[in-house]
Structure 1
Amino acid sequence: MDNTQTKTAFLLLEDGTLFKGKALGKIGTSAGEICFNTGMTGYQEIYTDPSYYGQVIVNTTSHIGNYGIKLEEEEESSSVKIKGMVCNAYADHYYSRKTADGSLQDYFEKAGIVGICDVDTRQIVRHIRNAGVMNCIISSEIEDIEELKAELAKCPSMEGLELSSKVSTKDAYFFGEESASKKLAVLDLGCKTNILRNFSSRDCYMKVFNAHTPVSEIKEWGADGYFISNGPGDPAAMDYAVDTVKDLIEGEKPVFGICLGHQIIARACGIDTYKMHNGHRGLNHPVKNLKTGKSEITSQNHGFAVSADEAKKVNSVEITHINLNDNTVEGMEVKGKPVFSVQYHPEAAPGPHDSRYLFDDFVGKL
């Protein structure tokens, strides 16, 4: 065992708030937008979710790393995507699960992830909740606070940042069984693997395209429908994706979007998006389906949202789901077309499976 957790680390927020704790992961320095996830489990799925690219995650649950990691099975992409991790109690080289493939500490060291533990995450979350999301820097090698401030100043704001290009597949690839009865084209803006698994289990064969793929090339494959994935960054900085989706919507084939895909579909319909004060990140967000009157507990991860006021002005769009905590738009559909989207994650890795009916609804339209 190394001496990582005996080394001091600092967490400096953009507003000057400073926290001192112990290092975890790689010894180094890393900056990004700080945000918190309230999920009690599924930390590995969170760290490998491409939607978290450019962000430092505060895990609000007390113990992190205590059940180790599982390679492939609990990974949502090919690599760790977060910029850093903050937690209270950290199980570095020790874990309870006999089937684990290794420790979170070894996993982070291999991935080059910098983090901090032994800090009061309740205090940090309370501060962010009131002040709003902001950039931060974690360092286990720089003790000069003025130097940390200078490094933090170099970190770009998430607002106006296009990040899907950083996490989208470089080359198109196939997923699922070629003998499946349905063909689905996936626009990869930072797609989670469990979304593809859900489609594959519903007899879909997918071709996953890079975010910047010309729409003509996507259509050329001859899919039965199109899926617009989740991903990181500001949808207002993604005109290229909006133009692609606008073209796909104008056709007659079904289109389904999740998270960032939902926001891109909204912008393609002329609806603005905005950066939220804190965003929604966790496994227990209550959402009401306005068409059925039923509620569902959902898994969420987003810092931008679709403007409800703007959506209500667009006659071609109907809001189908709302968040019961703050009434934000959680789902919508294009009237007269097989086009719909949700802000939350029905594939839920991690999280409840209340919303997986959405995959059935979409595949039923193909």
Structure 2
Amino acid sequence: MKAFLILEDGHVFTGTSIGSTREVISEIVFNTSMAGYLEVMSDPTYLGQAVCMTYPLIGNYGICYEDQESRSTWVDGVIVRELSRIPSNFRCVDTIQHFLTKHDIPGIAGIDTRALTRILREKGTMNGMITVEENYDLNTIIPRLKAYKKENAVETVSRREKKLVKGNGAKVALMDFGVRKSLVEALTERGCQVTVYPAQTSVETILKDAPDGVLLSNGPGDPKANPSIIEEIKKLYESEIPVMGIGLGHQLMALAAGGDTRKMKCGHRGSNYPVKGLETGMTYISSQSHGYEVDAAALEEKNIAKASFVNVNDGTNEGLDYIGKKIFTVQFQPAASEGVQYTSFLYNKFVEMMGGNK
């Protein structure tokens, strides 16, 4: 069956329908990973987005449900050059085609993903539609695309009730803005006792449980769309408790401390982004999935924080250490299930900041 990808600038790509045949409007983004497509589809940071995988063959190792990053799938759609329909891997239990259909995720295959990526890089991320309707009307569709905006992103992906993940070491309060499973595992592997809290939990409620430290998780959307959460994080900033922030958590802490964030032209999404540690001078390969960046210069000028990591490709901020505080944040995922483990030492830094595993 034919399928069409329509961009808000009027570009139309024609391919083959994969997965669900329902029509979807979403933000169109690209991911440069060679593997990890299941992790991408189940990563809450991709809520409200259809993902173009730039690697030309997707699905060749099938689906292993143990690798899902969360309890559900969050992407609006999947865009690929070629979909492998005969997977080969000893861990494979399903095909990507069946997975997409099962979870009602529409997609399109057989288009020039390189051309699509060039458009998004040159013009910036834009909205689009995946549809199987051959008699589409651009004059009707394009205004709808330009008007699309995903609301209540963090509230949608955050858990509804508090959850305890037992451990024998430091007590970590994890604020769930769209947390990935691998983040929780990185803490429990270090012996931490992790309590996961819904995004809208008050700081007073969290501190009553007497944690040794607070972790602000990754998550989707515009950080400025969460004013009530930012107000709560201000209380953490003003406290003495150790805090680590990742992804959206990095951005929210910057806003809470009086800094600013801005939307990037096309964002960073993939498992191969180089970041340089300013203290060590070393460059690390990192996993990233974000469309907003922190204005680190503003925080440094006010002597609130100093940059700890920068992106080697474009110089954007990738980490902050807060002056006079037990707080540090990073934009990237310090340890990712796609295999990027080079910066997992940051979890050790957090544990040490909390006083170690007692």
TM range (shorter): over 0.9
- Say whether the 8 Å CA contact 1:142–1:148 is kept in structure 2: no
State yes or no: 1:333 paired with 2:335. no
1:3 aligned residue: none
CA drift at 1:153: 4.8
2:162 aligned residue: 172
SS of the residue corresponding to residue 219 of structure 2 reads coil
Q: How many Å separate the matches in 1 of 2:222 and 2:47? A: 12
Q: How many Å separate the matches in 2 of 1:153 and 1:84? A: 18
Select the residue among 228, 241, 244 that pairs with 1:256.
Answer: 244
2:48 aligned residue: 54
Q: How many Å separate the matches in 1 of 2:146 and 2:187? A: 42
Select the residue among 109, 114, 122 that pairs with 1:117.
Answer: 109
1:8 aligned residue: 2
CA drift at 1:154: 5.0
Q: How many Å separate the matches in 2 of 1:168 and 1:141? A: 34
SS of the residue corresponding to residue 78 of structure 1 reads coil
1:74 aligned residue: 67
State yes or no: 1:276 paired with 2:264. yes
Q: Which amino acid aligns with 1:221?
A: D
Provide structure 1 residue ranges, at least 5 long, that are not aligned to the other structure. 1-6
Matches within 5 A, 1:344-363: 344-363=332-351
SS of the residue corresponding to residue 318 of structure 1 reads strand
1:4 aligned residue: none
1:45 aligned residue: 39
Q: Which amino acid aligns with 1:117?
A: A
1:17 aligned residue: 11
Q: Which amino acid aligns with 1:273?
A: T
CA pair 98-145 structure 1, distance change in 2 beyond 3 A? farther
CA drift at 1:98: 2.9
Matches within 5 A, 1:270-309: 270-309=258-297
Q: How many Å separate the matches in 1 of 2:227 and 2:80? A: 36
SS of the residue corresponding to residue 40 of structure 1 reads coil
Q: How many Å separate the matches in 2 of 1:355 and 1:347? A: 6
- Say whether the 8 Å CA contact 1:10–1:143 is kept in structure 2: no
**Number of aligned residues:** 353
SS of the residue corresponding to residue 69 of structure 2 reads coil
String of CA shifts for 1:241-287, please: whole Å, max 9, x gaps: 11111111211111000010000010011110000001111111111
Query: TM-score scaled to structure 1, two decimals?
Result: 0.94
Q: How many Å separate the matches in 2 of 1:119 and 1:347? A: 32
Query: TM-score scaled to structure 2, two decimals?
Result: 0.96
SS of the residue corresponding to residue 231 of structure 1 reads coil
String of CA shifts for 1:326-364, please: whole Å, max 9, x gaps: 111100011122100000111222242110000000011
Q: Which amino acid aligns with 1:68?
A: G
Identity rate, percent: 37
2:231 aligned residue: 243
CA pair 88-219 structure 1, distance change in 2 beyond 3 A? same
Q: Which amino acid aligns with 2:169?
A: S
Provide structure 2 residue ranges, at least 5 long, that are not aligned to the other structure. none
CA drift at 1:162: 4.1
- Say whether the 8 Å CA contact 2:296–2:306 is kept in structure 1: no
Q: How many Å separate the matches in 2 of 1:150 and 1:30? A: 15
Q: Which amino acid aligns with 1:213?
A: T
Q: How many Å separate the matches in 2 of 1:297 and 1:116? A: 30
SS of the residue corresponding to residue 67 of structure 2 reads coil
Q: How many Å separate the matches in 2 of 1:140 and 1:42? A: 27
String of CA shifts for 1:21-63, please: whole Å, max 9, x gaps: 0000111111111110000011100110000000110000011
Q: How many Å separate the matches in 2 of 1:300 and 1:211? A: 21
- Say whether the 8 Å CA contact 1:162–1:234 is kept in structure 2: no
CA drift at 1:313: 1.7
**Bigger shift: 125-134 or 316-325?**
316-325
Q: How many Å separate the matches in 2 of 1:37 and 1:260? A: 18
2:214 aligned residue: 226
